[in-house]
Amino acid sequence: MAEETGGTGLGHRSISMERVSKGVFEVTNVRGGTMRIGGGDDNSFTPVELLLTAIAGCSAVDVDFITVKRAEPQSFTVTAEGEKLRDENGNHLGDLKVRFSVTFPEGEAGDAARDMLPKAIAMSHDRLCTVSRTVVIGTPIDSGLAEG
């Protein structure tokens, strides 16, 4: 098995899931972090909400790392949305949107961060965010039974 890595470096990533009850699973990452996901019957995140979270979160981290070099934001909110569709391609999301609402302090540093914000968003979308790049590129998924 490949060595697990975290952060923004290259390398293998994985999670594991254990069934808790009908449609509810406990997810664990290699660092021991856990969360529950479900089908929307309670306040657990659904897999679609996690996809939106991953897309927005990946870009938010990118944009934050770039802009915070210039100024600390006063507020930083990111939203992600899409429409669940069913057509000849089966179920999927369409009309995906990620929107940033970020404010920086007045002054030279804040001005530099404000000037960099649109560039940082574009850099994340066009080449940095692994999650959105994977969705845009359309990477195949190998699904099947575990060996052993």
- The pLDDT, as a whole number, for residue 2 is 60
Number of domains in the chain: 2
Specify if 74 maps to a domain: yes
Structural domain of 112: 46-137
Please give the Cα distance from 45 to 130 (Å, whole number): 21
Residues 58 and 129 in one domain: yes
pLDDT tens for each residue of 16-59: 999 999 999 999 999 999 999 999 998 999 999 999 999 999 99
Residues 51 and 41 in one domain: no
- The pLDDT, as a whole number, for residue 1 is 54
Residues 95 and 38 in one domain: no
- The pLDDT, as a whole number, for residue 53 is 97
- The pLDDT, as a whole number, for residue 147 is 87
CATH classification at residue 91: 3.30.300.20
Distance of CA 16 to the CA centre of its chain: 18
- The pLDDT, as a whole number, for residue 148 is 75
Please give the Cα distance from 63 to 58 (Å, whole number): 9
Mean pLDDT, range 61-78, rounded to an integer: 98
Residues 91 and 28 in one domain: no
Residues 37 and 82 in one domain: no
Residues 40 and 53 in one domain: no
Specify if 3 maps to a domain: no
pTM: 0.89
Please give the Cα distance from 11 to 13 (Å, whole number): 7
Specify if 131 maps to a domain: yes
- The pLDDT, as a whole number, for residue 9 is 82
Residues 57 and 128 in one domain: yes
- The pLDDT, as a whole number, for residue 30 is 92
Residues 64 and 106 in one domain: yes
Residues 74 and 40 in one domain: no
Residues 126 and 59 in one domain: yes
Residues 40 and 51 in one domain: no
pLDDT tens for each residue of 88-143: 999 999 999 999 999 999 999 999 999 999 999 999 999 999 999 999 999 999 99
Residues 40 and 85 in one domain: no
Residue 7 zone, left/alpha/beta (φ > 0; ψ -120 to 50; rest): left
Specify if 5 maps to a domain: no
Q: What is the separation, in whole angstroms, between the first and last Cα of the chain?
A: 14
Specify if 113 maps to a domain: yes
Task: Determine the 3-state secondary structure of 33 from DSSP.
Answer: coil
Specify if 27 maps to a domain: yes
